[in-house]
C-alpha cells in the first residue's frame, strides 16, 4: 500500500520530466522538522505539478508507461460497496485536509449521516461524496470521478494530445483561454486569448468549474476532434478542433524600448519548471550582451508550475540566506525554504509584470523578490492561490480525491490565498505579450533598495 501511494504521489513529477520539465534539486536550503519530513519531501510541490499537468492536458502529447495503482480499502465490515466508498473518501480527506475545523461543521457527523444511507447505486454514492466534500467550501478539494481521475493519470501514462491553449480563471470566476500557442490547432481554429469556455466535449462550464475541469475535456488521442463553445464579447462561437501534439516554449525574451528607461530586456515566463531558472539566466545573459540595462519579467497569465522552479528562479536575484517561501501543513508545521548561495544578478533594475491570472508558484516567485526588496511589481493584484493539493486514489476504480494539504506564506509570513499580491505600481495589463514597452512605468526601473 505504501509503495503504491508513493508511486502515485510521484507520477506528477515523472509527467513533468516527460514534458521536458525535469525536477531539479531546488537551489534553496530546505529545513524540515521531523514531523514534516515525510510529507514535504514527497508532497510539497504536488499543487505545482498539478498546474503543470493542467497545462499538459491542454497542450502536450504524452507517451510513457508508468504504473499507478489505488490503495487498498480498509476493511469496512458489513458495509455495502457504496457505503465503503463513501467512508474511504471521508477518511482520505479527514487525514490530510488543511482546515481542521472542516469549514466549521461536525465533520464526523457528516460521515455518519452519509455512511448510514442506503444507496441504490455507486453513482448515487459518488454524488453523496461530491456533496460531502463540497460542504468544505474549498473548490480545490474535490471528488474526481473515475473518468476524471483516469484522465489525470493518463496525462502521465497515455498517448494524449491537446489543442494548444493555456487555461486560467478571470476576475468573474469564469474559465478562459489565457493564451493560445502560436500555430496550434486552437489558433488555427480561431480561438483567441480571453475567450471564455462555455462547453467542451459536451461538458458545460460555469463559475464553479476549474481550469482542471476544462483541461481534462480538451485532451484526447492524436487526430481526434473536440467540440468547443467559447464566448467572446457576449457572443457564443462554436469550434471543432483536431487534437495534435504541441511543443510549448515556456520562456521567451526580446528587447523593448521604454521611454526614459532605454533598452529593456523582457523575459516572458509562461510557467515554472525545473529548468526555468537556468533558461531565464541564459536569456538574461544574452539580453545583456545586446546592451539592455534593465530587466522586466512578464508573468501575466502564468498559472504557476513547479514550486522548485519558482524558488530557483527567485534565487537568481537574491543574496544568500534570504527567505523565499514557507509551506505550512495541517498541523502548523512549517517547511522554510531560503537561498543558500548568492544569486547571479543582484544589481540590475528588475520589474515584475503581473495580472489577476498570475498564480501559485508565480506568486511565490513574485513575493520572494518583492518582499526581499529586489524588484518592483507592476500591473494588477495577482490571483491569490496560495494552497497545495495532493491527489489520492480511491479503491475499486472509484476515482480519486484532490485534497488541499498545505498553504504558502511569503517571506514576511503573509498568506496570499484568496488575497493575492498587491502591486507596487498599478499599470495597464493589456499590452501585447510580444511588446510590453508602453505598459511599464519608467519609475519602476530602479536600482535595488535605492
pTM over 0.75: no
Count how many Cα atoms sit within 13 Å of the Cα of residue 69 in the half-sphere of its side chain.
8
Per-residue pLDDT at 70 = 47
| Separation of alpha carbons 329 and 317, rounded Å | 28
Average pLDDT, integer, range 28-41: 29
| Least confident range of 5-14, 85-94, 349-358 | 5-14
Residue 277: name the closest of 303, 304, 248, 314 by CA: 314
- Crossing angle of helices 146-157 and 211-218, rounded to 10°: 70
Dihedral class, residue 359 (left if φ above 0, else alpha if ψ from -120 to 50, else beta)? beta
Q: 368: helix, coil or strand?
A: helix
pLDDT tens for 105-149 read 999 999 999 999 999 999 999 999 999 999 999 988 999 998 788
Q: Kindly report the number of other CB atoms within 10 A of residue 114's CB atom.
A: 19
Is the confidence at residue 64, as pLDDT, over 70?
no
| Separation of alpha carbons 341 and 261, rounded Å | 30
Is the confidence at residue 69, as pLDDT, over 60?
no
Average pLDDT, integer, range 264-273: 94
Q: What is the mean pLDDT of the chain?
A: 83
Q: What is the DSSP string of 174-222?
A: -EEEEEE-TTSHHHHHT--TTPEEEEETTEE--TT--HHHHHHHH-EET
Dihedral angle computed from the Cα positions of residues 122, 125, 131 and 135, in that order, rounded to the nearest 10 degrees: -130
Residue pair 268/303 in contact by the 8 Å Cβ criterion: no
340 contacts: CB under 8 Å, gap ≥ 6: 27, 28, 29, 320, 321
Residue pair 382/365 in contact by the 8 Å Cβ criterion: no
Q: 246 or 360: whose pLDDT is higher? A: 360
Average pLDDT, integer, range 65-69: 36
Q: Grid coordinates representing 186?
A: 486552437
Bridge partners, 264 (sequence order): 256, 294
| Separation of alpha carbons 189 and 3, rounded Å | 44
Per-residue pLDDT at 414 = 96
Residue pair 416/386 in contact by the 8 Å Cβ criterion: yes
Q: 37 or 184: whose pLDDT is higher? A: 184
Per-residue pLDDT at 76 = 62
Give the β-pairing of 220-221 and 225-232: unpaired
Average pLDDT, integer, range 45-71: 39
Q: What is the DSSP string of 282-308?
A: HHHHHHHHTT--EEEEE-TT---B-HH
Per-residue pLDDT at 401 = 96
Bridge partners, 28 (sequence order): 339
pLDDT tens for 343-359 read 999 999 999 999 998 99
Amino acid at each position: 500500500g505504501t509503495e503504491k501511494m508513493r508511486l502515485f504521489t510521484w507520477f506528477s513529477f515523472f509527467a513533468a520530466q516527460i514534458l521536458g520539465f525535469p525536477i531539479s534539486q531546488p537551489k534553496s536550503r530546505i529545513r524540515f522538522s521531523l514531523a514534516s519530513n515525510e510529507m514535504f519531501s514527497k508532497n510539497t510541490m504536488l499543487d505545482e505539478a498539478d498546474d503543470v499537468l493542467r497545462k499538459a492536458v491542454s497542450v502536450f502529447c504524452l507517451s510513457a508507461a508508468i504504473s499507478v495503482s489505488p490503495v487498498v480499502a480498509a476493511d469496512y465490515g458489513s458495509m455495502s460497496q457504496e457505503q465503503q466508498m463513501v467512508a474511504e473518501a471521508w477518511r482520505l480527506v479527514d487525514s490530510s485536509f488543511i482546515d481542521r475545523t472542516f469549514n466549521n461543521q461536525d465533520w464526523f457527523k457528516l460521515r455518519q449521516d452519509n455512511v448510514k444511507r442506503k444507496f441504490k447505486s455507486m453513482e448515487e454514492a459518488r454524488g453523496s461524496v461530491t456533496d460531502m466534500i463540497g460542504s468544505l467550501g474549498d473548490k480545490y478539494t474535490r471528488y474526481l470521478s473515475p473518468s476524471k481521475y483516469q484522465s489525470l493519470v493518463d496525462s502521465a501514462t497515455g498517448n494524449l494530445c491537446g489543442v494548444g491553449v493555456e487555461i486560467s480563471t478571470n476576475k468573474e470566476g469564469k474559465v478562459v483561454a489565457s493564451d493560445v500557442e502560436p500555430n496550434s490547432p486552437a489558433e488555427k481554429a480561431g480561438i483567441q486569448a480571453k475567450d471564455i469556455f462555455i462547453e467542451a466535449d459536451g461538458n458545460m462550464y460555469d463559475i464553479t468549474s476549474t481550469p482542471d475541469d476544462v483541461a481534462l475535456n480538451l485532451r484526447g488521442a492524436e487526430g481526434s476532434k473536440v467540440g468547443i463553445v467559447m464566448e467572446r464579447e457576449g457572443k457564443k462561437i462554436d469550434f471543432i478542433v483536431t487534437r495534435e501534439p504541441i511543443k510549448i516554449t515556456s520562456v521567451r525574451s526580446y528587447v523593448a524600448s521604454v521611454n526614459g528607461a532605454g533598452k529593456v530586456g523582457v523575459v516572458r515566463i509562461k510557467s515554472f519548471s525545473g529548468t526555468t531558472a537556468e533558461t531565464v539566466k541564459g536569456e538574461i545573459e544574452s539580453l545583456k550582451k545586446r546592451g539592455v540595462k534593465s530587466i522586466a519579467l512578464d508573468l501575466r497569465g502564468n498559472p504557476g508550475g513547479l514550486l522548485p522552479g519558482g524558488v530557483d528562479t527567485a534565487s537568481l536575484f537574491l543574496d544568500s540566506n534570504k527567505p523565499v517561501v514557507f509551506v505550512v501543513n495541517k498541523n502548523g508545521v512549517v517547511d522554510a525554504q531560503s537561498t543558500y548561495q548568492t544569486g547571479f544578478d543582484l544589481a540590475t533594475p528588475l520589474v515584475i509584470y503581473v495580472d489577476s491570472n498570475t498564480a501559485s508558484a508565480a506568486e511565490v516567485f513574485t513575493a520572494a523578490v518583492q518582499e526581499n526588496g529586489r524588484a518592483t511589481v507592476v500591473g494588477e493584484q495577482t490571483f491569490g492561490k496560495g494552497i497545495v493539493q495532493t491527489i489520492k486514489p480511491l479503491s475499486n476504480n472509484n476515482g480519486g480525491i484532490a485534497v488541499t494539504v498545505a498553504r504558502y506564506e511569503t517571506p514576511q509570513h503573509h498568506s496570499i490565498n484568496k488575497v493575492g499580491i498587491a502591486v507596487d505600481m498599478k499599470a495597464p495589463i493589456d499590452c501585447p505579450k510580444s511588446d510590453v514597452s508602453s505598459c511599464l512605468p519608467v519609475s519602476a526601473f530602479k536600482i535595488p533598495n535605492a
